[in-house]
Chains A and B, each alone.
Chain A
């Protein structure tokens, strides 16, 4: 089941490559059909998924490279399931949304998107470290080509920066993977890359600290956390619309997913020790990202920096190790994927018409394009955290969690929310209202295809905003499981961290 889900996009891509060369409509339809089937499959998975357990479901386990104990082992828990759903949804939306934007080498573009989908799904469902690493690296290639071939004017620079940042982080992770596998073996365990087995190994000492650092750096680059975020604005800005949507929507989440599975799963003791520095970095990212967004004159760059800010919330919530914080963090990932994906999508729609992304070139667009303005307003207020839409639930839970841990950080993080409201509304005002630019008065409003692209995202934003229980139910037990892993260490070290922090910041 999971194998079919993962490799169906590649199968579709192969069919397109063999049978549909030079027939744009055929391969576009095939690509869309593939992603729709994959999405339907993932919804079916979600429907048959048993909530209320932290066990991995739909497992498949076959021996792959027996000499090193590497297995082809797949499985999902609630967290993976949500991210799988997000991936399949956004892949579908991305293909529909860029239906006509890609004129040059369209077949290669849609094949890249499908291969990328396989890579992303593989990352979320791998239960073997080797397999995880393979998928983690493989998805770099299609993304690299998507940015490099179909991107904006500075695409080459952005593509290579994106690739090298991630690659440098992940090769260190490779050494860490080998280090923990062999350390487990040398301490008498079997030679295995199985994630669940290694989670129970209980690594300690130098090896745990160093491996945690290597894993953490690899994932922090992907998230991206301050100060390793600099690849993100370039990559986001230069990538074509579909690339930005997938990049913001799914690729960044792979970083957080890795932190949950490996940084906390393998080294709970080190993770607890790293709590305070990570939280401080997260808060810096929240405020810094928001402040940078304020001064951007490029809409895509603005949304890109807002991602830094919002992902700061995600890591903040995760590392408070409170029930609300962790749940909020996971929910915020999903919400950010939908809202930011949608924002990039709409910016892409504008760009298709005007071929500029500079805020100063816009103005008064609400008059010729009222429907687009309405959609944009919805995603903007969702993104700035208005109750009733998805952004609010995640941020609220995260703030509650942070408040329990240390008040000062909650206060600082809410500054980020206020700034968020400022830059998003200001951007909205300058582009949609104010003096109308004569050039754009004749622009056509969103087409039926573009509206269909956005509707699922609106639906999800409202669903999560009004009835988050559907999703919280899926992640409740896995989140408890995370807390359960760190609990013993929190009791040991948490006290001292708190005392140290309160001495510094005057918390409770």
Chain B
């Protein structure tokens, strides 16, 4: 290890400092003293957690800023275990933003549930550190360790409402399936190590050179793929998703739907492109089967959900399907000698960014609605009736995010789908694109159904609403909405960044 290796992990170090500071400051926060109108002490209230939230926000902002400053200073560090290139920076910034928005939407939600504690933010920051390292990893060992860091933090976050049955169920389910997936993946990694003697991506590729078709290698690739497929909740490894998404606290769900999923996709691409380029056809077919299944399962099951959180869980499965279709095209396309076009890969990256913002936005609206009425509101469709009249802004924003998820032009979701399907069609797999767009036409039905309830129906029962929107929640919604529209209208800058990122991977 050289001293200069530290530079490559600066964004993560900043986050680590932030997480430590959060835990430290949290210990010194004093409960507030509550006084009655005469000024006499009558009880204690939980401490004001604004300070820890601020530390988390500053930490994320600083890590984004440093990551951006490091742009152009490409290097590998720790004996080639990790790289700092435009690819890693792209994802570090994206994860930073994901964490930032999640923090913003969390405070008032946790406040409303009287569980506003510093550990929450620390866990979130740890999860993002894991994600950052996953994107930068160029070695299976580092990847696995960071993957576990992210996962364990996630299990704890899922169980954050420990007195709630649903939250416990979610955490346990997530933990069991997650560990199972990790074990499968680790087995795949060990097989690769046994075959080649390396854990480094490029070293594996060099060592395999031409022998990728060997059964043990294909089997190992399959195992690693399955392990990651659990995390992106691709069918048939999606069973845990609806329960976990429904049971976890809503801001945590927002994070689950975006962060770990995007992280797993970044590894799908780094590990598979760099370590197994010769087996592109094999993993292309693997992704192809996975993507068709996932698109079908996600969309068809989402059709029959009456709980919006569950519906969004299935919709996130469906979106993983579109993304996998992009990966399948990369793999299959490079096999027939057209790898000079990494365009589907660029499309996947654009989609991931769009996906992050519109999902964070949609879940943020859900979190806001829950904050407004923590006891009664249970995300069931009937509670959305008349929302457009009750709170027009929340209704309008949720409509925007849902339309974006459905892929209506003018929104980020359309640009994402457009680029992914454009890449797929470019490589000649138009029939895959046809399946994809038909499925997204199906998806329009269940997204529009929510809009119908919000705007076209009158509420069956009046919900008693609490205080107006908090500043941080408004900021989270504004950020997500602005990004959703901006990417939808002027995607060129994003494309340039994506092209840089992909180029650094393929060079």
Contact = CB atoms under 8 A, between A and B. Distances in A.
Interface in A173-224: 174-175, 178-179, 181-182, 185-186, 210
A140 B409 CA distance: 10
Please tell me the size bucket of the interface on A: 35 or more
B460 to A, nearest CB: 15
Given A141-B403, A141-B408, A168 B425 contact: no
B452 A171 contact: no
Interface stretch (A156-164, A399-407, A444-452): A156-164
A134 interface: yes
A163 B444 contact: yes
B425 A164 contact: no
Interface of B: 403, 407-410, 414, 418, 421-422, 425-426, 430, 433-434, 437-438, 440-441, 444-445, 448-449, 452, 455-457, 491-492, 495-496, 499
Interface stretch (A29-37, A64-72, A282-290, A357-365): A64-72
Contacts of A67: 492, 495-496, 499
A314 B440 CA distance: 31
Nearest to B338: A186
Nearest to B439: A171
B12 to A, nearest CB: 31
B456 A174 contact: no
Contacts of A155: 456
Nearest to B498: A67
Interface stretch (A142-150, A324-332, A476-484): A142-150
A138 interface: yes
B491 A172 contact: no
A174 B444 contact: no
Decide if the interface of chain B is mainly helix, strand, loop or mixed: helix
Contact of B492 (A66, A159, A168, A210): A66
Contacts of B421: 174-175, 178
Interface string A347-380: 0000000000000000000000000000000000
Nearest to B496: A67
Contacts of B440: 171
A64 B433 CA distance: 24
A133 interface: yes
A7 interface: no
A167 interface: yes
Contacts of B408: 137-138, 140-141
B409 A167 contact: no
Interface in A422-461: none
A175 B433 CA distance: 7
14 contacts: A65-B495, A135-B409, A148-B455, A156-B457, A160-B452, A163-B444, A164-B445, A164-B448, A171-B438, A171-B441, A174-B421, A175-B433, A178-B425, A178-B430
Contacts of B492: 64-67
Contacts, number: 83
Nearest to B415: A65
B452 A156 contact: yes
B437 A174 contact: yes
A164 B491 CA distance: 27
Contacts of B457: 156
A9 to B, nearest CB: 15
Given A138-B408, A138-B410, A178-B433, 12 more contacts: A67-B496, A67-B499, A137-B409, A148-B456, A155-B456, A160-B452, A163-B448, A168-B441, A171-B407, A171-B441, A172-B434, A174-B418
Which of A67, A141, A144, A164 has the most CB atoms of chain B within a 10 A radius of its CB?
A: A67
Contacts of A134: 409-410, 414
A137 B411 CA distance: 11
Q: Which of A68, A145, A174 gathers most chain B CB within 10 Å?
A: A174
Nearest to B346: A67
B437 A172 contact: yes
A312 B409 CA distance: 30
Contacts of B441: 164, 167-168, 171
Nearest to B408: A137
A86 to B, nearest CB: 23
A5 B23 CA distance: 58
A171 B455 CA distance: 25
B138 to A, nearest CB: 27
Interface in A50-105: 64-68
A68 B495 CA distance: 10
Given A67-B495, A163-B448, A175 B425 contact: yes
Contacts of B430: 175, 178-179, 210
Contacts of B407: 171
A65 B491 contact: yes
The 9 closest A-B pairs by CB, nearest first: A171-B437, A134-B409, A178-B425, A168-B441, A67-B495, A148-B456, A182-B426, A137-B409, A175-B433
A133 B421 CA distance: 15
Best-buried of A66, A163, A171, A172 by chain B (most CB within 10 Å): A171
Contacts of A68: 422
Contacts of B414: 134, 137
Contacts of B456: 148-149, 155-156, 159
A262 B120 CA distance: 55
A322 B137 CA distance: 66
Interface in A274-300: none
A54 to B, nearest CB: 29
A226 to B, nearest CB: 22
Nearest to B417: A174
A65 B350 CA distance: 14
